[in-house]
Amino acid sequence: ARVAVLISGRGSNMEALIEACATPGFPATLVSVVSNRPEAPGLAKARAAGLSTTVIDHRAHADRPAFEEALHAHLVDVGAELVCLAGFMRLLTAGFVERWQDRMLNIHPSLLPSFKGLHTHERALEAGVRVHGCTVHLVRPDMDNGPILAQAALAIAPDDTPDSLAARVLTLEHRIYPLALRLMAEGRVRVVDGRALVDGAAS
């Protein structure tokens, strides 16, 4: 499958996807890295890995639909079949999301449906939960919502801080995003009643 990755910043999840796609036999090829921010550090990393990068700056477009029209046109242009949001910090309209229904993935640093939105590690600590983690899911118009493809969890330690948690969760993110992409690229995921069922997986 041809995959585009959308970033806004550091791009460490993008790097994990680049590495996975470079593994012999991996069923996906990265065809484009797109950033809505020209200054995103991930762009240089993508270029260094030999990937084609494109900036579609939301500030250069009149409104959200105009920005999304340019984004959609680019994705069609590069022949993207799957889209991976990887630290992409723009909310997408329902219209755009519906055009990529069941073909667009996101990674979120919490065990959804807990802690949607920002500052997930602070909020997990404040809530006193003992288990925390990350989720890869199919994108739906509601933010951080949608059929779950993969999750990984860790135990919160008494001395964890938002930074220590962020670092440990990030290593899990880098493991599960490639796994989820593989499932999608292999066509093994069916969405039934709002849930992602993986063919060939014990349930």
| Whole-angstrom distance, CA of residue 76 vs CA of residue 32 | 11
Amino acid identity of 123?
Answer: R
10 touching ligand GRF, by CB under 6 A: yes
What is the footprint of ligand GRF within residues 20-79 (CB under 6 A)? 42
Residue 121 annotated as catalytic: no
12 touching ligand GRF, by CB under 6 A: yes
Count of positions on this chain that bind ligand GRF (CB under 6 A): 15
Tokens of 199: 């063919």
**DSSP E strand stretches across the chain:** 2-7, 29-35, 53-55, 82-85, 104-108, 131-138, 148-155, 189-192, 195-198
Nearest position to ligand GRF, beta carbon: 87
Q: Using CB under 6 A as the criterion, what x/- string covers residues 103-142 for binding ligand GRF?
A: ----xxx---------------------------------
CB 125, CB 169: distance < 8 Å: no
Q: Which of 108, 121, 132, 137 is catalytic?
A: 108
For 57, residues 6+ apart whose C-beta sits below 8 A from its C-beta are: 36, 37, 38
Is 203 annotated as a binding-site member? no
Q: Which residues bind ligand GRF (CB under 6 A)?
A: 7, 9-14, 42, 86-87, 107-109, 170, 173
For the annotated catalytic residues, the residue numbers are 108
